Amino acid sequence: MTDELKSQGLLRSLDPHRLIDQQQKDNVAGFFLVLALYYNDLKSLLYHYNRTNEDFEGTSSEDISIQAGEFGGIRAHLLRLMASTVFEFLEFLKTNRSVLGTAEFRLVYESLNRNLKEQWNLIVQIASKGSSDVKSDFSSALMLVRNNLGFHYNQSSKALTQAFIDHFFKDQKNISNEKAYFSDGTKMKDVRFFYSDAAAQRAVISQAQKKLVSADEYYEKLMALIKMTNFTIMQLLKRYLKQRPPYDSLNG
């Protein structure tokens, strides 16, 4: 087990009725339940991203080999998943903005320090408007994700085909685009279609260039964004759990 999974935290518990009252609708409780899942999902993806870097340590994604192709493909996929997860979360915030004005949420929010409040306000603003007056790496990364810089299967055929054409037919020729590579075998672990990974990565590069950033810069900002966003959400959740009323008061 890697250090990432060797938690130094304390195992705690509370009555499930304090989180969800099955007898009545509680939009705030539902909101924080989704918030907790979002936090967990991003934590899991970050773990697998770091684990992939460890497992393929010493491998360059620029090399032409099965090992390098697996490394580059898995890492790029995890980054796309993280971007998509952030995008879905911003959509969730936009749809559920009414919760943010409730007395219970305001009580939790007011317990945050100034820096965390500013981070949360920025997240909400970009989720709602798609832009922010605040100029920072954090805000620019949020806006890139919010404005759909990523890859989605339901809109992928045309974009992926164009990216394939750009990579294999239009870009300057090099060892990575002279051939469309894949690995063959009888088991799933032995087979990967590297040319589709290359097309997906080229699609991200094209979208990033439209936003006047490089793909590497975008990914760097994305990683910082995820860590900062998840830390802010973790603090919100910890304060929420402390302030949830006991079961008896929930039921009058």
Domain membership of residue 7 (yes or no) is no
Domain membership of residue 10 (yes or no) is no
Q: What is the DSSP string of 172-226?
A: PP-TTTSS---B--SSGGG-B-HHHHHHHHHHHHHHHHHTT--HHHHHHHHHHHH
* Residue 187 pLDDT class (50, 70, 90 cuts): very high
Task: Name residues whose C-beta falls within 8 Å of residue 226's C-beta, 6 or more positions apart in sequence.
Answer: 42, 46, 82, 86
Residue that wins the pLDDT comparison between 214 and 137: 214
Mean pLDDT of 23-34: 90
* Residue 199 pLDDT class (50, 70, 90 cuts): very high
Domain membership of residue 20 (yes or no) is no
Lowest mean pLDDT among 29-38, 82-91, 155-164: 155-164
Domain membership of residue 14 (yes or no) is no
Please give the pLDDT value at position 250. Answer: 47
Please give the pLDDT value at position 22. Answer: 84
Please give the pLDDT value at position 115. Answer: 93
Domain membership of residue 135 (yes or no) is yes
What is the domain extent for residue 145?
Answer: 25-173+188-243
Domain membership of residue 63 (yes or no) is yes
How many domains is the chain partitioned into structurally? 1
Domain membership of residue 230 (yes or no) is yes
Domain membership of residue 70 (yes or no) is yes
Mean confidence (pLDDT) of the chain: 84
* Residue 134 pLDDT class (50, 70, 90 cuts): low
DSSP class of 153: G
- Residue 117, phi then psi, degrees to nearest 5: -60, -45
**Does residue 154 register a pLDDT over 90?**
no
**Does residue 24 register a pLDDT over 80?**
no
**Does residue 120 register a pLDDT over 90?**
yes
